[in-house]
């Protein structure tokens, strides 16, 4: 921690800062008096929360700023675990050499709809079946999902195809129920900062896919992952799904930067979701390729037997044949970067 003081600071003010630092458990402080500023660098480790110490120091009239040097997350950081984490879901490994494709409809609408999608996901060579049973919705009047009935249909599709399934859990009260059916628990963008929900899934042993909040920084996203890891569950897969920007042409702006940034900062695998990242089916294939080229460990893609009749997210859903084509087009790209599909 570095404390920046005003140039005209008095000796007793500097002493007050040093006393606060040692009182907070730091071993000592390094003082550097400059012409424009005086800088106090804390040495050692505090016994109190760094964020709180910084806030308290900032309240002093002669303190201009406090800069935290170490990151506000630890368990999910690359420093803590230099090797990349590989998460096993059945026979699928996420974060390894394989680029893992999760695909399926936005929402489970019916048995026929999901089973037909599941067969296509399997035939196209994708690895995990997606489908929402509990749907977050901006409008209270739009489709909110089939609930447990949807989970049962997902389980049936898993039995038939052997594909593991991923589905969203939105409420702490549903974690136990969804955990009984799902192979991966999805935390959606609107719940990235639902800290009770993060802690609740952190108490389970299920892999969790944590989507980036649509208005969240990468650091906030990693802190959300830290909430899950802090409760003992390190099986966390991050998913970049686009953020809100000033550009209205696309539903969100897919932040391709986030993929290599996450790999630099964290040991966790990261997927790209070009469906929500763009909101337009025509952009799903090019942005899928961009994500894979940037190092994404996998993709989350929405498909539908008849996108024009989808109850949710039809405009961003691929038809079965377009999905098959994308899977074939990904082959040479994946090979070129030394991975496999
Ligand atoms: C979804 O995957 O269908 C979904 C609702 O995603 P997000 O939370 O990213 O909007
Ligand atoms: Mn969707």
The CATH number given to whatever domain includes residue 164 is: 3.20.20.70
Do 194 and 308 belong together in one domain?
yes
Interatomic CA distance for residues 44 and 46, integer angstroms:
7
| Nearest ligand to residue 186 Cα | 1
Prediction pTM value: 0.90
Give 7's pLDDT tier (boundaries 50, 70, 90).
confident
Q: Does residue 207 sit within a domain?
A: yes
Do 235 and 308 belong together in one domain?
yes
Do 23 and 107 belong together in one domain?
no
Distance 189 CA to ligand 1 centre (A): 6
The count of domains in the chain is: 2
- With a cut of 90, say whether residue 151 has pLDDT above it: yes
Do 94 and 182 belong together in one domain?
yes
pLDDT confidence of residue 32: 85
Q: Does residue 75 sit within a domain?
A: no
**Residue among 186, 221, 302 to mutate when testing ligand 1 (max atoms within 8 A of CB):** 186
Residue percentage of the chain with pLDDT more than 70: 100
User: What residues pack around ion ligand 2 (CB closer than 5 A)?
Assistant: 106, 313
- For 175, the 3-state DSSP assignment is helix
Domain range for 288: 87-336
Distance 107 CA to ligand 2 centre (A): 7
Do 35 and 130 belong together in one domain?
no
What is the H or E stretch that residue 282 is in? helix 281-293
- With a cut of 90, say whether residue 70 has pLDDT above it: no
Do 10 and 150 belong together in one domain?
no
Give 30's pLDDT tier (boundaries 50, 70, 90).
confident
Residue percentage of the chain with pLDDT more than 90: 88
pLDDT digits (tens, 9 = 90+) for 287-304: 999 999 999 999 999 999
Rounded to 10 deg, the angle between the 111-123 and 320-336 helix axes is 30
pLDDT confidence of residue 137: 87
Ligand 1 atom at shortest distance from the alpha carbon of 186: 2
- CA-closest candidate to residue 221, choices 243, 247, 250, 249: 243
| Nearest ligand to residue 316 Cα | 2
pLDDT confidence of residue 335: 97
Residue 165 tokens, joined:
């399934």
Do 150 and 290 belong together in one domain?
yes
Domain endpoint, select from 18, 39, 67: 67
pLDDT digits (tens, 9 = 90+) for 176-193: 999 999 999 999 999 999
Interatomic CA distance for residues 330 and 281, integer angstroms:
16
Do 225 and 106 belong together in one domain?
yes
| Nearest ligand to residue 312 Cα | 2
Q: Does residue 78 sit within a domain?
A: no
Distance 152 CA to ligand 2 centre (A): 19
Nearest alpha carbon, ligand 1 atom 8: 188
Do 153 and 272 belong together in one domain?
yes
pLDDT confidence of residue 321: 98
* Residues at CB less than 6 angstroms from ligand 1: 106, 132, 136, 188-189, 211, 241, 276
Domain endpoint, select from 39, 67, 95: 67
Domain with residue 63: its CATH number is 3.30.70.1140
Nearest alpha carbon, ligand 1 atom 6: 188
Nearest alpha carbon, ligand 1 atom 9: 189
Q: Does residue 295 sit within a domain?
A: yes
Give 43's pLDDT tier (boundaries 50, 70, 90).
confident
């Amino acid at each position: 921690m570095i404390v920046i003081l005003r140039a005209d600071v008095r000796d007793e003010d500097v002493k007050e800062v040093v006393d606060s630092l040692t009182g907070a458990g730091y071993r000592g402080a390094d003082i550097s008096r400059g012409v424009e500023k005086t800088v106090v660098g804390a040495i050692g480790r505090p016994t109190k929360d760094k964020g709180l110490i910084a806030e308290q120091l900032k309240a002093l009239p002669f303190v201009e700023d406090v800069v935290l040097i170490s990151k506000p997350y630890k368990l999910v950081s690359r420093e803590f675990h230099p090797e990349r984490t590989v998460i096993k879901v059945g026979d699928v490994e996420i974060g390894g050499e394989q680029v893992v494709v999760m695909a399926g409809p936005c929402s489970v609408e019916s048995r026929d709809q999901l089973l037909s999608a599941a067969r296509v996901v399997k035939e196209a060579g994708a690895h995990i079946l997606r489908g929402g049973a509990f749907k977050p919705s901006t409008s209270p009047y739009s489709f909110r999902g089939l609930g447990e009935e949807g989970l049962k249909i997902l389980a049936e599709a898993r039995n038939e195809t052997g594909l593991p399934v991923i589905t969203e859990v939105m409420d702490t009260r549903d974690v136990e129920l969804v955990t009984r059916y799902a192979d991966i628990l999805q935390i959606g963008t609107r719940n990235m900062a639902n800290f009770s929900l993060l802690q609740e899934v952190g108490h389970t042993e299920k892999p969790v896919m944590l989507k980036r909040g649509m208005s969240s920084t990468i650091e906030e996203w990693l802190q959300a992952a830290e909430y899950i890891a802090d409760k003992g569950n390190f099986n966390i897969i991050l998913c970049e799904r686009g953020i809100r920007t000033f550009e209205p042409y696309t539903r969100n702006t897919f932040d391709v930067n986030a993929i290599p940034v996450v790999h630099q900062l964290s040991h966790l695998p990261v997927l790209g979701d070009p469906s929500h990242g763009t909101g337009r089916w025509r952009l799903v294939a090019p942005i899928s390729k961009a994500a894979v080229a940037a190092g994404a460990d996998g993709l989350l893609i929405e498909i539908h037997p008849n996108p024009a009749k989808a109850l949710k997210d039809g405009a961003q859903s691929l038809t079965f044949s377009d999905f098959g084509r994308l899977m074939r087009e990904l082959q040479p790209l994946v090979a070129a970067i030394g991975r496999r599909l």
